[in-house]
Amino acid sequence: MSTIHPNTREAATPIYDWEGYDFDTRQVHAGEYPDLNNGLRVPPIALSAGYVFDDFDDQVERFSAVPSRDGAFHGDSEATPGPIYSRQGNPTNSVAEERLASLEGGSNTVLVSSGQAAITSALLTLAQGGDHIVSTASIYGGTRILFGRSIKRFGIDVDYVWDSEDDDEWARAIRPNTKAIYAESIPNPRNDITDLRRIAEVAARYHLPLVVDNTVGSPALIRPFEHGANIVVHSTTKFLTGHGAVVGGAIVDGGNFDWEAAVAAGRAYPLLTSSPRPGVGSMVDRFGPAAYARATREAVVNDIGPALSPFSGFLLHQGLETLSVRMERHVNSSLEIASWLEQQPEVEQVDYAGLPTSPLYELAVRDYGLATNGLGARTSSVFGVKVRGGIDGARAFVNGLRVFSRMTGIGDTRSMVIHPGTSTHATFAPEINDRLGITPGLLRLSVGLESPRDLIADLRVGLDHVAVL
Query: Does the domain made of 323-467 have the CATH classification 3.90.1150.10?
Result: yes
Q: Would the pLDDT of 171 be above 80?
A: yes
**Is the pLDDT higher at 202 or at 375?**
202
Cα 343 to Cα 88: distance, rounded to the nearest angstrom: 52
Distance (Å) of CA 155 to CA 25, 128, 193, 427: 44, 7, 30, 21
Sign of CA dihedral 25, 27, 33, 36: negative
Domains 23-320 and 323-467 fall in the same CATH topology: no
Q: Would the pLDDT of 40 be above 90?
A: no
Average pLDDT over residues 116-131: 98
pLDDT, position 77: 34
Compute CA 357 distance to the chain's CA centroid, rounded to the nearest angstrom: 28
pLDDT, position 76: 34
**Is the pLDDT higher at 43 or at 360?**
360
Q: Which helix (H) or strand (E) holds 23?
A: helix 23-29
Q: Would the pLDDT of 1 be above 50?
A: no
Cα 441 to Cα 397: distance, rounded to the nearest angstrom: 10
376 - beta bridge partners? 369
How crowded is the C-beta side of 177, counted as CA atoms within 13 Å? 11
pLDDT, position 65: 62
Q: Looking at this protein, which amino acid is placed at residue 344? A: Q
Q: What percentage of the chain reaches a pLDDT higher than 70? A: 93
pLDDT, position 6: 58
- Count of all residues that appear for the chain in the document: 469
Q: What percentage of the chain reaches a pLDDT higher than 90? A: 83
Confidence band of 39 (pLDDT split at 50, 70, 90): confident
pTM confidence score: 0.93
351 - beta bridge partners? 384
DSSP character string of 285-319: HHHGGGHHHHHIIIIIIHHH--PPPHHHHHHHHHH
Q: Per-residue pLDDT tens for 224-275?
A: 999 999 999 999 999 999 999 999 999 999 999 999 999 999 999 999 999 9
Q: At what angle do helices 310-320 and 91-104 cross, to 10 degrees?
A: 30
Q: Per-residue pLDDT tens for 304-357?
A: 999 999 999 999 999 999 999 999 999 999 999 999 999 999 999 999 999 999
DSSP character string of 46-104: ---SB---SSHHHHHHHHHT---SS----TT-TTS----BTTT--HHHHHHHHHHHHHH
Q: In what order do the strands lie in the sheet with 347-351?
A: 347-351, 382-387, 442-446, 416-418, 405-406
Q: Per-residue pLDDT tens for 178-203?
A: 999 999 999 999 999 999 999 999 99
User: What CATH number does the domain located at 23-320 have?
Assistant: 3.40.640.10
Residue 49: what are its φ and ψ, rounded to 5°?
-75, -35
pLDDT, position 73: 38
Average pLDDT over residues 422-437: 95
Confidence band of 78 (pLDDT split at 50, 70, 90): very low
pLDDT, position 222: 95
pLDDT, position 279: 84
Of 76-80, 111-115, 117-121, 188-192, the poorest mean pLDDT is in 76-80
pLDDT, position 8: 65
Average pLDDT over residues 79-89: 78
pLDDT, position 377: 78
Q: Per-residue pLDDT tens for 43-57?
A: 889 899 999 999 998
Residue 283: what are its φ and ψ, rounded to 5°?
-60, -40
Would you list the domain boundaries of the chain? 23-320, 323-467
Of 251-265, 308-322, 371-385, 417-431, the poorest mean pLDDT is in 371-385
Q: Would the pLDDT of 13 be above 90?
A: no
Q: Would the pLDDT of 70 be above 50?
A: no
Q: Per-residue pLDDT tens for 287-318?
A: 999 999 999 999 999 999 999 999 999 999 99
CB 370 within 8 A of CB 380: no
